[in-house]
């Protein structure tokens, strides 16, 4: 039994035992109102801290909202590039052809996106750049040169199928717009197969014969002279930097680079067969949809 326990009844006539004084209790945070002097001294500080805390909470809330909306913002950005490119191409070729042209670019880029996802790599939605085509963003193109070749060739494969579909629509409707779109699609995919990085053909050469990068780069120099074009010049500049960088990496990369470019003969033969077949089919497709120009 504790010493300070109180009995409910005391003996009659006996003096009441003195009750011990309660010990003072010190509370770190008093429940009652603070003295005016304390409020005057700490009020401004607390108000500043409260305002700062509220601002931080508001910023964090907005940041969280941005994170939640980030996928939608990316989609809006991609959609915005589509609209800008559509307006730019429509100024030159009109709305119907511009829409079909962007659709062909989208199909081509989705070939890369599908191939990257098959390799287990996330890829962004296609972003369109007026008069330069479209691009996608990814952390890599695969774990080795064969995977890079698959990703590179997937674009022209699906893009060629899209262009061939335009031929079917052309024969079904008789509208020469679809014939022009088919020819343009075949040409774009054939151009992308030039054996120089960063074009798709250069990606395929990573698994076939990387030394062909120099052949492709050399072939683009007279092309840029004969057909002076800002796009070709820009590709030539990028190709020069990329070819030099890759060659330096191969020379000084050690075991990692050696493993990256180690390709089985069967894989090399398959990549070569797909590449050469695509080139041949695209040339045939261009010839079948070519509109001869007559000078009157």
DSSP assignment of 114-134: HHHHHTT--BPPPEEETTTEE
Residue 277 maps to a domain: yes
CB-CB contact of 108 with 162 (8 Å): yes
Q: How far apart are CA 174 and CA 255, in angstroms?
A: 57
Higher pLDDT, 143 or 73: 143
DSSP label at 253? -
- Whether the pLDDT of residue 159 is over 90: the answer is yes
CB-CB contact of 278 with 158 (8 Å): no
Residue 29 maps to a domain: no
Higher pLDDT, 252 or 145: 145
Q: How far apart are CA 281 and CA 160, in angstroms?
A: 9
Q: Which of 104-118, 197-211, 243-257 has the lowest mean pLDDT?
A: 243-257
Residue 28 maps to a domain: no
What's the confidence (pLDDT) of residue 52?
A: 52
- Whether the pLDDT of residue 289 is over 80: the answer is yes
What's the confidence (pLDDT) of residue 49?
A: 47
Mean predicted confidence (pLDDT) in 84-92: 87
**132 confidence band (pLDDT: 50, 70, 90):** confident
Which residue segment(s) compose the domain that 106 sits in?
A: 48-289
3-state secondary structure 167-193: HHHHHHHCCHHHHHHHHHHHHHHHHHC
Domain count, the chain: 1
What's the confidence (pLDDT) of residue 53?
A: 52
Residue 22 maps to a domain: no
Higher pLDDT, 137 or 181: 181
Q: Which of 21-25, 78-82, 166-170, 190-194 has the lowest mean pLDDT?
A: 21-25
Q: Which of 18-27, 57-66, 143-152, 229-238 has the lowest mean pLDDT?
A: 57-66
Mean predicted confidence (pLDDT) in 13-18: 45
Residue 166 maps to a domain: yes
Residue 34 maps to a domain: no
Mean pLDDT, the chain, integer: 78
Write out pLDDT tens, residues 46-78: 555 455 555 544 544 444 443 344 444 555 566
Residue 56 maps to a domain: yes
Q: How far apart are CA 162 and CA 183, in angstroms?
A: 11
Name the H helices within the chain: 36-93, 95-118, 145-173, 176-192, 200-208, 212-226, 230-252, 255-260, 265-289
What's the confidence (pLDDT) of residue 67?
A: 39
Query: At how many degrees (to 10) do helices 95-118 and 176-192 cross?
Result: 40
Residue 230 maps to a domain: yes
Residues ≥6 apart with Cβ < 8 Å to 89: 97, 98, 101, 102, 130
Percent of the chain with pLDDT over 90: 38
Q: Which of 4-13, 29-38, 109-118, 153-162 has the lowest mean pLDDT?
A: 4-13
DSSP label at 32? S
């Amino acid at each position: 039994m504790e010493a300070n326990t109180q009995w409910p009844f005391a003996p009659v006539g006996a003096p009441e035992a003195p009750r011990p004084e309660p010990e003072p209790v010190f509370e770190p945070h008093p429940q009652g109102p603070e003295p005016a002097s304390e409020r005057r001294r700490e009020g401004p500080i607390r108000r500043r801290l409260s305002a700062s805390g509220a601002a931080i909470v508001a910023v964090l809330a907005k940041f969280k909202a941005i994170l939640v909306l980030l996928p939608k913002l990316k989609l809006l950005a991609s959609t915005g590039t589509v609209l800008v490119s559509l307006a730019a191409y429509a100024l030159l070729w009109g709305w119907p052809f511009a829409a079909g042209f962007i659709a062909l670019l989208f199909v081509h880029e989705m070939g890369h996106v599908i191939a990257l996802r098959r390799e287990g790599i996330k890829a962004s939605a296609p972003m369109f750049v007026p008069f330069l085509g479209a691009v996608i963003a990814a952390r890599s193109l695969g774990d080795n040169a064969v995977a890079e070749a698959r990703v590179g060739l997937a674009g022209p494969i699906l893009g060629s199928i899209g262009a061939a579909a335009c031929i079917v629509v052309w024969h079904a409707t008789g509208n020469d717009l679809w014939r022009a779109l088919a020819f343009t699609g075949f040409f774009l995919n054939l151009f992308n197969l030039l054996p120089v990085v960063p074009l798709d053909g250069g990606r395929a050469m990573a698994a076939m014969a990387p030394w062909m990068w120099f052949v492709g780069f050399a072939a683009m120099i007279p092309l840029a002279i004969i057909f002076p074009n800002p796009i070709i010049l820009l590709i030539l500049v990028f190709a020069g930097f990329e070819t030099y960088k890759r060659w330096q990496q191969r020379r000084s990369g050690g075991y990692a680079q050696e493993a990256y470019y180690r390709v089985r003969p069967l894989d090399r033969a398959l990549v070569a067969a797909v590449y050469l077949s695509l080139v041949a089919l695209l040339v045939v497709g261009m010839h079948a949809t070519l509109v001869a120009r007559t000078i009157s």
